[in-house]
Chain A
Amino acid sequence: MGLAWGMTRISVSVDGIAYVDEVEPRMLLVHYLRDRLGKTGTVVGCDTSNCGSCTVHLDGRSVKSCAVLAVQADGHEVITIEGIAKDGELHPMQRAFHESHALQCGYCTPGMIMQSIDLLAANPDPTEADVREGLEGNLCRCTGYHNIVKAVLTAAADAKAAR
């Protein structure tokens, strides 16, 4: 082997920029983002789709980028943690995490924020239990869940006040 395995061309929009690339079919989306595009804001925390730290949005919905092949993103739109701030302004969820001290080592934070945005999109007015359930696929090894939940509830309340 070694020879003859094809490369596949993909066209994908990442954080608003269109890319066309040749990738090996076995390349994970998270590796494409990190190694090919240099978008190292998205991190890898486990080897079996468990921890959620690699969460990105694919066509507006959260997925684990370590469980998606880069070829599956062809023709689709990816938003990473690096693409949610607008014009130098933090995304409201980023601000809420900052203000609620919702990070300790910060490793889980990109995934937590991306999943929290998805959570509020599906359920703009969640209870604390809804938030805990909505974040069930994201593990924080510093176990800072309390402030993370607080941050999401704060972001939800802020968004409601602004409506």
Chain B
Amino acid sequence: MKPFDYQRATTPDGAVALVSDRPGAVYLAGGTNLVDHLRLGIVGPDLLVDVNRLPLDEVGATEDGGLRIGANVRNSDLAAHPAIRRDYPMLAQALLAGASGQIRNAATTAGNLLQRTRCVYFQDVTTPCNKRDPGSGCTAIGGYTRYHAILGASEHCIAVHPSDMAVAMVALDATVAVLGRNGERSIPVEELHRLPGDHPERDTVLEHGDLITAVVLPPPLGAGWRCTYRKVRDRASYAFALVSVAAAIRVEDGRVADSRISLGGVAHKPWRAVKAEDALRGAVVGDESFAAAAGAELAAASPVEGNEFKVPMARRTIVSVLRELAGQSGESR
């Protein structure tokens, strides 16, 4: 591991100043992703700014009835939080579907959002990778693609974002609070991550030095909604998603009144399935409508050789999740 300097930030503004002023500086939260990357030589910062002492570890109610989750709240604490389990069970399910107990005890809310792709070539510094080394090429294209994108990829990168938590947050219309050089701003989680395009080295819309201070959840979906998170993977636990679906629907008089659907494991960002949601609005509950909705979303899918199977897998998972939710609708959540 290359040597680096280390400083503990004591205020959010101080943290932003430290990182903004130094091109080679990065934030350190739980370290469960960053420390791996330091060891593998994927990144070589010259300064780590430790954010663990910042007062960002509370979960609290917002004025409008939502919830503000501090950036440093640990994944295990968030999954166990009574308000999350009661009002946002889909988020608790997504958190518990990720990693393992030890990792969730250390991993933070902000770190989870900003974890980097698990593309094996990104992690192997001996192979070309446009995300790690812009312009060097993409080894995944024509290589091992089982865990790669079927939506929104580019000729420069077909990686997927690996977070489970973020998929649920996108379905819940969460926003991130960001503190930068020029003050605070708010970004929908859905717009935080980017598609790779010509710049796969940029995972998100954040600028160097931007500090995530919180994730804000709107008020819970409420009565009449049912929701769930389902993750399809190569073994029953401790694996990243091949495909995952976060979904919520509200059924009235045998029709889908409203829905929220987002997909994980399929794109460079958590994928909000807006086309599926549009197709479902007002549709008669049943497999026919569910398949049509899934089809509408996946019409744009462009798998590469080796991951074609993910298109029918995504379609079937969406249908199956909607069927499960519709079967239980009428009760709340």
Q: Report the tally of A-B residue pairs with Cβ distances under 8 A.
A: 88
Closest CB-CB distance, A128 to chain B, in whole Å?
Answer: 13
**Chain B 4-37 interface 0/1 with A at a Cβ cutoff of 8 Å (1 = within):** 1110000000000000000000001001100110
A55, B102: Cβ atoms under 8 Å? yes
Closest CB-CB distance, B95 to chain A, in whole Å?
Answer: 13
- Which residues of chain A from 26 to 67 have a CB within 8 Å of any chain B CB? 26, 28, 47-49, 52, 55, 58, 61-64, 66-67
Q: How far is the CA of A68 from the CA of B2 in the complex (A)?
A: 16
A115, B101: Cβ atoms under 8 Å? yes
A133 — which chain B residues lie within 8 A by C-beta?
Answer: 237
Closest CB-CB distance, A10 to chain B, in whole Å?
Answer: 10
Q: How far is the CA of A6 from the CA of B5 in the complex (A)?
A: 6
Q: How far is the CA of A28 from the CA of B52 in the complex (A)?
A: 17
- Which residues of chain A from 108 to 163 have a CB within 8 Å of any chain B CB? 115, 118-119, 122, 132-134, 136-138
**Chain B 203-243 interface 0/1 with A at a Cβ cutoff of 8 Å (1 = within):** 00000000000000000000000000000000001100000
Q: Contacts A55-B102, A137-B101 given: A72-B31 contact, CB under 8 Å?
A: yes
Closest CB-CB distance, A66 to chain B, in whole Å?
Answer: 8
A15 — which chain B residues lie within 8 A by C-beta?
Answer: none
A25, B6: Cβ atoms under 8 Å? yes
Which residues of A are in contact with B by a Cβ distance under 8 Å? Answer: 1, 5-6, 8, 24-26, 28, 47-49, 52, 55, 58, 61-64, 66-69, 71-72, 115, 118-119, 122, 132-134, 136-138
Give me the 9 closest cross-chain CB pairs, A-B, nearest first: A137-B100, A25-B6, A136-B238, A136-B237, A5-B3, A61-B105, A62-B102, A26-B1, A63-B106
Which residues of B are in contact with A by a Cβ distance under 8 Å? Answer: 1-6, 28, 31-32, 35-36, 38-40, 48, 50, 52, 76, 99-103, 105-106, 123, 237-238
